[in-house]
């Protein structure tokens, strides 16, 4: 029978995986406790950054149906379990890694899709969800205004033509 503490840890990790919309695996070798705290604070709004045990995490991921971490659980590992905007978390990790090259992003998953290191970087390069939604709304409003103007021009031309015909008929009568 498995050690009850390890079984509880696996269950806790499975719960984190199931409640997360995304997760990003990192290696933090060489980072001080203070730097790890700074990183945790930078992602706190959208994620829980947790130092994990490799073997237990592999078991929990496998039992949760997550294949993104298979073969990547080496060295001192930590995972950002995302419960908010994954783009903001990816940006925070990227920005932290720029100043602290000891942090290595190994990959992750989002909405069931496996992300490699390049995929996480691409995610970080996207604009935030709010900005993308604002741009989409602006494009829709612009398209609607353009369509309305396109529709109004022939309509006003038809009204002018009908008015000219009516005026001509009055003159003839």
pLDDT tens-digit map of 80-127? 999 988 989 999 999 999 999 999 999 999 988 899 888 899 988 887
Q: 75 near 27, Cβ under 8 Å?
A: yes
pTM above 0.75, yes or no: no
Query: What's the rounded Cα separation, in Å, for the pair 129 and 82?
Result: 14
Give pLDDT tens digits for 12-23. Answer: 999 999 999 999
Query: What's the rounded Cα separation, in Å, for the pair 49 and 40?
Result: 6
How many C-beta atoms lie closer than 10 Å to residue 143's C-beta? 10
Q: What CATH number was assigned to the domain covering residues 4-126?
A: 3.30.70.1730
Contacts of 43 by beta carbon, 8 Å cutoff, 6+ apart? 49, 80, 88, 89, 92, 93
pLDDT of residue 23: 94
pLDDT of residue 160: 72
Q: 123 near 90, Cβ under 8 Å?
A: yes
| Alpha helices, DSSP H, located in the chain | 4-19, 33-43, 54-63, 86-99, 117-125, 129-172
């Amino acid at each position: 029978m498995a050690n009850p503490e390890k079984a509880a840890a696996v269950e806790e990790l499975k719960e984190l995986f199931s409640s997360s919309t995304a997760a990003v695996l990192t290696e933090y070798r060489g980072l001080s406790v203070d730097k790890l705290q700074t990183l945790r604070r930078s992602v706190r709004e959208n994620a829980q950054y947790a130092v994990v045990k490799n073997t237990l995490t592999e078991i929990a991921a496998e039992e949760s149906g997550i294949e993104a971490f298979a073969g990547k659980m080496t060295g001192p590992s930590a995972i950002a379990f995302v419960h908010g905007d994954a783009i903001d978390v990816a940006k925070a990790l990227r920005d932290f890694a720029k100043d602290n090259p000891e942090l290595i992003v190994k990959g992750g998953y989002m909405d069931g899709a496996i992300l490699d290191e390049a995929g996480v970087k691409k995610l970080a390069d996207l604009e935030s969800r709010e900005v993308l939604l604002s741009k989409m709304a602006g494009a829709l409003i612009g398209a609607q205004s353009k369509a309305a103007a396109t529709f109004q021009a022939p309509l006003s031309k038809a009204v002018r033509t009908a008015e000219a015909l009516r005026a001509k008929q009055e003159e003839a009568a």
